[in-house]
Structure formats: C-alpha cells, structure tokens
Amino acid sequence: MPPEATNGASVPTHPLIISNKPHKTANTFPVYSPATGALQHHFSSASTEDADAALKSAQAAFLPWKNLPPAKKRDIFLKTAEIMDSRREELTNYMVNETGASAPWGAFNLNLASEILRDVAGRISSISGTIPQTATEGVSALVLKEPYGVILAIAPWNAPYILGIRAVIYALAGGNTAILKAPEFSPMCSTGIVTSFHQAGLPEGVLNLLAHRPEDAASITKHLIESPIIKKVNFTGSTAVGKIIAELCGRNLKPVLLELGGKAPAIVWEDADLELAAMECAVGSFLHAGQICMSTERIIVHEKVAADFEAHFKKAAAGFAPEGAEPPVLINSAGVAKNRRLLKDAVEKGAIVLHGNPEAGEGTKMMPVVVKGTKKDMDLYYTESFGPTVSVMTVSTEEEALELANDTEYGLSAAVFTKDLRTGLRMAKGIESGAVHINGMTVHDETALPHGGMKASGFGRFGSIGLEEWVRTKTVTFKD
C-alpha cells in the first residue's frame, strides 16, 4: 500500500543519494508540514550498511576530485549556483512545506546560498603553500596545503540552504569529498542542494546524501565518525548535541568545526538612534520566529532611554507581527511549549510581559513576546529560547552592560547601538562573542566575513577564512 497523506492522497518516498544515484533503503520516516500538520512525503532512512556505501563512494571519489584542476571545480560551483537559481520556486516550496518558513525567509536562504557558491568559486585559487627559509645548510623546504579526505557535514533545518551549502562547499573547494547528513525535518531541502551539484557536473561520489530516522541518529552518527574513512567533521546545531559530536570526535582524534547555540545580546546605549535600534532588535529577535542561532535574546538598555526605547520597540514588534495576523510557525509544538514554559517561569518570578500574549497561537504557532525584568533565577535568563521570545533589561553603567552581555555560556553574535564609534568599538572588544555588530542586528552572516563562535557556541570558522579549515599543512624538505 502506498503511504497516505492526511487528505487521502498518496505521497512519494524519496531516496538517499549515493554515487550520484538514487539509493533506496529498507526503512523510511515521515516528514510533516509544521504549518498544516499534513504529511509531505516519506524519506529513506539510512542503516549502517547504507552509511558504509556512502563512505565507500566518497573515498573512491577523493583522489580524482583532489587532483581535478581548481578552474574545473570553480566552473562546477558557478554552474551549481545557476541551477539553484533556476530551481528557485521548487526549492522555496521544499523549505516552506518542510520547515514552515515564510517565503521571504526562503528567498533569503536561496540568495545567500547562491552567493556563497559564487564567492567560494572565486576563492579556490587562493589556496597556497609557502617556501620558508630553513636553519639547516643545504636543505630547503616546502609547506603544502592538502585536503583531509572524506568529511562529514551535519547541517540543521532552520536555514537549510545557507547552512547546507556552507557545510560542504568549503570542504569541496579544498579538494575533499563529503557526506551531507540531512536534518530529518527538511531532507528535501538537502536533496535540492545535492542534486543541484550533480546537475552541474559534480563527479560521482564527491557529494553523497544520507538521512535517517530520529531514533537512529545516535547509532548512525557514531558509526560515521568512528569510520577511519572520515577525516574531519562539521556540525551546526544545538550545543547539547554539539557536545556529543565533539566527544565522539575527540575519542576518535578527529578534528571538528562546531557552530552551536547562542544567547545573543544587543546593547542599546543612551546615545543610540532608538528607532533604528528598536527595528533592528525586533527583526533580530523575531525573524523566522526566533529560530536562528544568532537571534537576539537579551536587549540591554541604558536606563536613561529605557522608557523611550520600550515604546519604540513595542511599535516595531507589533509591526513585525501585527495583532490579529497569523502567528509565526515554529518547527514543532515542542518549541512552542518550551518558550511558553520559559515565559511562565519568568512571569511567576517577577518578570513583566511588555508586549504580546504568550498563549496566542495553537499547535506550532506562537506570537512574539517581549518580557522585562528577567533575572538570574529565571530559566529564561540563561536558556536559549530558540523562539519568538526576548528579554529587555536595564543598566546604568557600561560595566553592567558588558557583565550582562557576557553572563552566558554562549558567544556567537552580539550587537551594540550607539552614535559614538569609540563607545561601540570599546564595547565590541569587551563582549565575548565571535561577532559584534555596531548599529546592526545580531542576525548577520555574509560570505566576506568569518563566521563562528566562542565558549559554548563552538569553535572554528565558516565564511571568508573557511577554506583554511579544510586543508591541512604538510612539510616537505629536500637536500639542495
């Protein structure tokens, strides 16, 4: 019997992709729309045998891909960007249907994904070694940059095209081959990435696609990381899972790049443009229902402008999600329940709801909520909400502002709003974060800049220096 959708119509079962070919599996898992609850499709679920097939394919493809001239790799990446652009409507629909994203968020994802492809295509020729002076007479040396081999890329669902492309493109440009492990919430988005590469002429086995049932996550991930074929791993996702990935990599002496959670602060200083700050903080807090690792979670306002800022911010928040409008969609009802639980605890311990109704919305839907007066004894103070929830706090000194901004295990992104660049730079130096944006929102990622965190937000960098993450150094000496 074919699988049935909620309306009675049959839905397809989609395969894994190994050696550029569809790869069916014994087990599958369902994918539902978080917006409607409707069954979208079933997707193939990898076993350890399927994972081994992908590993074998990637290993066989490594040497030919490593030796392919950079210009040919460049042309494949540029063609991939063209193909993704030509498939925009299809790829947007995958993202909207699988993750509940708005069409504008889908468009932003695809625009940046294409930009990343083109940017990296232009950087391939920048990989270079050196010829250093040696201390030994009659001996010369070369320092070479070489790819690792087969890498494992694990990308999340919340920005599937940006993060999926980012997870593989720097490694591929460095001469590595890759296995992309798709998120169970959005495997067709990952399929769209991989098939676009293949349509552009990426050779067989250079990029393979795996996915699995949620209950198989631990065993399949462990199997892949423990394989001697995998030489390096990158993971973007929660800090809790990142710790597990890091532990597995550590036990197996595998290098790993981690981009994890965040609790991004935005400092609004007494000389700030309050209208600008309010709008940037609203977008930074509520874009994609707050389901971005860089989302603004703490707004730290100087007490002299607190009342004026709150008025501007409530207006900006109301404009972002007007009363009576359909609430934003979260990936699942568990995300809504988590945010409501955090808000309930905060209010019971003295926080005040400044804007929004925590109970507005049903199922996977929730309206933005702003609370004031969050304290250390409240769960919301330290916990990443990963939803449309933000706290407003007031301070009287720069020292207090920096203490609040840094009083978190995370350190991914931050913002400072001030008209005095000296103040902004001084605060930026004092904030423990991988990035600080002066007079801009905390959600900021572009190809020309390094991207990554510190503390529990991970280590390593994507972006402009991302190619260096995926080549290792080899020293060669020779007697003259």
CATH number at residue 256: 3.40.605.10
- Say yes or no to pLDDT of 286 above 70: yes
Mean pLDDT of 320-348: 91
Stretch 277-293: mean pLDDT: 96
Q: Tell me, yes or no, whether 306 lies in a domain.
A: yes
Band (pLDDT 50/70/90 cuts) for residue 9 is low
Residues 469 and 373 in one domain: no
Tell me, what's the pLDDT at 81?
98
The answer on 206 and 146 residing in a single domain is yes
Q: What is the pLDDT of residue 4?
A: 46
Name the CA radius of gyration of the chain, rounded: 23
Is residue 269 domain-shared with residue 315, that is, in the same domain? yes
pLDDT tens sequence across 410-452? 999 999 999 999 999 999 999 999 999 999 999 998 888 999 9
Greatest C-alpha distance within the chain: 80
- 441 CA to centre of own chain: 17
In a domain, 275, yes or no: yes
Do 122 and 253 share a domain, yes or no? yes
> Residue 273: its pLDDT value, please?
98
Same domain, 198 and 290: no
Residue 170 domain boundaries: 13-260+458-477
Which of these, 426, 382, 378, lies nearest to 404 by C-alpha position? 382
Residue 5 lies inside a defined structural domain of this protein: no
The answer to whether residue 276 is domain-embedded is: yes
pLDDT at 8 over 50: no
Contact 234, 150 (CB under 8 A): no
- Work out the average pLDDT over 326-330: 92
Which pTM does this prediction carry? 0.94
Please indicate, yes or no, if residue 6 is contained in any of the structural domains: no
Q: Are residues 226 and 239 in the same domain?
A: yes
- Report how many helices (DSSP H) and strands (DSSP E) the chain contains, helices first: 14, 22
pLDDT tens readout for residues 139-166: 999 999 999 999 999 999 999 999 999 9
Is the pLDDT score of 1 beyond 60? no
Pairing of strands 230-236, 256-259: parallel
Q: Which two tokens stand for residue 184?
A: 């169970």
How many percent of the chain have pLDDT more than 90?
92
Model pLDDT, residue 401 = 98
Q: Are 143 and 474 in contact (CB under 8 A)?
A: yes
User: Residue 256: which H helix or E strand, with range?
Assistant: strand 256-259
Q: Alpha-carbon distance 89 to 94, whole Å?
A: 9
Written as six digits, the tokens of 194 are 């991989």
Best CA proximity match to 216, nearest among 13, 28, 16: 28
What share of the chain in percent tops pLDDT 70?
Answer: 98
Percentages helix, strand, coil for the chain (3-state, rounded to 5) are: 45, 25, 35
Tell me: do 254 and 283 sit in the same domain.
no
Question: What pLDDT score was predicted for residue 10?
Answer: 84
Give a yes or no: residue 2 inside a domain.
no
Q: What is the CATH number of the domain that holds 275?
A: 3.40.309.10
- Provide the domain count of the chain: 2
Does 129 lie in the same domain as 243?
yes
Give SS3 for 394.
strand
Question: Is the residue at 207 inside a domain?
Answer: yes
- Pair (282, 233) in one structural domain: no
Q: Mean pLDDT over residues 287-306, rounded?
A: 97
Residue 65 within any structural domain of the chain: yes
Same domain, 437 and 315: yes
The question of whether 403 is a catalytic residue gets the answer: no
Cα angle value 447/449/452 (rounded, 5°): 100
Q: What confidence tier does 3 reach under pLDDT thresholds 50, 70, 90?
A: very low
CA distance 392 to 302: 11
Residue of 184, 259, 280, 384 with catalytic role: 259
How much is the average pLDDT of 362-378? 95
Helix extents (H) in 124-237: 160-173, 187-199, 217-226
- Which of 199, 198, 216 is closest to 207 using CA atoms? 198
Task: Classify burial at 255, counting beta carbons within 10 Å of its beta carbon; exposed 0-12, middle 13-18, buried 19 or more.
Answer: middle
Whole-number Cα distances in Å, 13 to 28, 37, 39, 212: 8, 18, 11, 13
Asked whether residue 87 carries a pLDDT value surpassing 90, the answer given is yes
Asked whether residue 227 falls in the same domain as residue 119, the answer is yes
Gap between the Cα atoms of 386 and 240, Å rounded: 13
The model's pLDDT over 212-259, given as tens digits with 9 standing for 90+, comes to 999 999 999 999 999 999 999 999 999 999 999 999 999 999 999 999
Domain match, 239 and 322 both: no
